[in-house]
Amino acid sequence: MSSVRVVVDGTPAPQGSKKHVGRGRLVEVSKNLPAWRAVVEAAAREAAGPGWVPWDGPVMVSGTVGILRPGSTKFKDFPAGAPDLDKLQRSIGDALEKSRLITNDARIVHWDIRKVWAVVPGADLTVTELMG
């Protein structure tokens, strides 16, 4: 099995919540999503290196997503509030696909991601090819 470590500096943003803006148009609620996806994509491309051939088989994504602790929080030891972890995973999966590290985010068959408080926001991810 081969693995690629992707270290991302930036403010994690969720993907998935939509807002109706009229005439049948829906837009992402998170205004930070495009910037987050761009830094994840760039970090994945850098980690893969030149000449990378995208993985087209099953992969696992593991690691942590670090978010800044707000001024007050109901849960001081755990970031058990917004943004939702599953929506963070969606934004990461789409960015990994766009980076061409993997051919399609449907290839992610296992997630092992933790959301943690961080002094510096970002993510430390390992993408592991499960067949090879």
pLDDT tens, position by position, 63-117: 999 999 998 899 999 999 999 999 999 999 999 999 999 999 999 999 999 999 9
pLDDT at 27: 73
Q: What is the CATH number of domain 3-129?
A: 3.30.1330.70
SS3 71: coil
DSSP state of 68: P
pLDDT at 122: 98
Is the predicted pLDDT of residue 18 greater than 80, yes or no? no
* 24 or 49, which is more confident: 49
Beta strands in the chain (DSSP E): 3-9, 18-22, 25-28, 59-67, 108-117, 122-129
Instruction: Give residue 29's pLDDT band: very low, low, confident or very high (50, 70, 90).
Output: low
pLDDT at 26: 73
Residues forming beta bridges with residue 62, ordered by sequence position: 112, 126
User: Crossing angle of helices 85-99/33-48, nearest 10°?
Assistant: 50
pLDDT at 43: 98
Mean pLDDT of the chain, nearest integer? 93
The mean pLDDT of 1-17, rounded to a whole number, is 92
Vertex 75 angle, CA 74 and 76, to 5°: 110
